[in-house]
Amino acid sequence: MRQYAGMDVSGLTRFAKSTHPLYYGIIGLIAIELTVVAMLTVSYSYLMFSSPEWPPAGLEPAPILWPSVNLGLLLASMVSMRWAGNRISAGDRRGLIIGLSTSVALHMTVLVLRSFEMAAFEFRWDDHVYGSLMWTITGFHFTHVASAIVGTVVVTILATKGYFTPERQLGVVVDTLYWNFVSAAWIPFYLALYWGPRLV
C-alpha cells in the first residue's frame, strides 16, 4: 500500500489562508477590481464637477427609485451570504443551500431591474461623455453581478452534493468575498451616478 505525504490541518481556520493560494488569488482580484471601481468613480466625479452642466444637454438626472431598490437588494444579499457561511460553519448544509439560493435570487432580481433601467436611458453610450460613463459603469456592474451569480450557482450545486463541510469550506469563503465586493461596489457608483448630479 502506497504512503502519501500529508499534513495536519485540524488547526486551520475556515479560511485556510496559510495553505491555499485561492484565498490570496481572490484578494488580488478584488484589489484589481477595486482599482477599476475607484477609477470609474473618480472619472465620473471629475467630469461632473468640471462641467458647467451635468447631466449635459438639458437631461434630467437619472431616476433614482430602481437604483435605490437595487442597492437594498444588494445589501440584503450580503446578509444572506453571511448567513449561508455561518450555516456551513455550524454543519448545516440545508441552511447553506437556502442562503446561497436566496442570494442568487436577490442578484437575479437586480439584473432584471437593471435591464429595465438601462433600457429606459434617454441617451446612447456614444451621445456624450455622460452617456458613455452611465452605460460603462452600469454595464460594468451588471457584468460583475452576472459573474457572481454564475460562481455562486456552481457553489450551490456543489453544496447540494455535500461537498462543503465545516472543515472544507474555502470555496464558500472565496465566493462570499467576491459576492460582497460586487454588492458593495454599487455603493460608490450609486452615490456618484444618482446622488451626485442632485447635490452638485
Q: How far is residue 183 from each of residues 72, 73, 80, 123, 176, measured CA to CA in Å?
A: 10, 9, 12, 26, 10
- Average the pLDDT over each of 14-18, 61-65, 127-131 and give the range with the smallest value: 14-18
All domains in the chain, ordered by first residue? 21-57+64-199 (1.20.120.80)
Whether residue 55 is preceded by a cis peptide bond, meaning omega within 30 degrees of 0, is: yes
- pLDDT surpassing 50 at residue 18: no
Convert the pLDDT of each residue in 98-149 to its tens digit.
999 999 999 999 999 999 999 989 889 998 999 999 999 999 999 999 999 9
At 55, the amino acid letter reads P
Residue 16: pLDDT above 70? no
